[in-house]
Amino acid sequence: MPEAEKILNAIHELSVQLKEIECNIVEFSNEVNDEFNQINEKLDRQIATYTNV
């Protein structure tokens, strides 16, 4: 049984790490999306400026 317990503990540890990685990916994705939106807003303003000139 100690081997099975070690395996279960290892699986649990991996599960915890995967959840953490998933959270990091979601956070990074949100940051990339925010950055992308900011760039698009800047480009929209520049395009508006040039089309109004």
Please identify which residue in the block is written with the tokens 């790490």: 17
The Cα–Cα gap between 52 and 44 comes to 12
53 has a pLDDT exceeding 80: no
Confidence at residue 46, expressed as pLDDT on a 0 to 100 scale: 93
What count of Cα atoms within 13 Å lies in the side-chain half-sphere of residue 52?
6
Confidence at residue 6, expressed as pLDDT on a 0 to 100 scale: 96
Token digits of residue 46:
């520049």
Spell out where the chain has E strands: none
3-50 pLDDT, tens per residue? Answer: 999 999 999 999 999 999 999 999 999 999 999 999 999 999 999 998
Confidence at residue 50, expressed as pLDDT on a 0 to 100 scale: 87
The Cα–Cα gap between 7 and 25 comes to 27
Confidence at residue 7, expressed as pLDDT on a 0 to 100 scale: 97
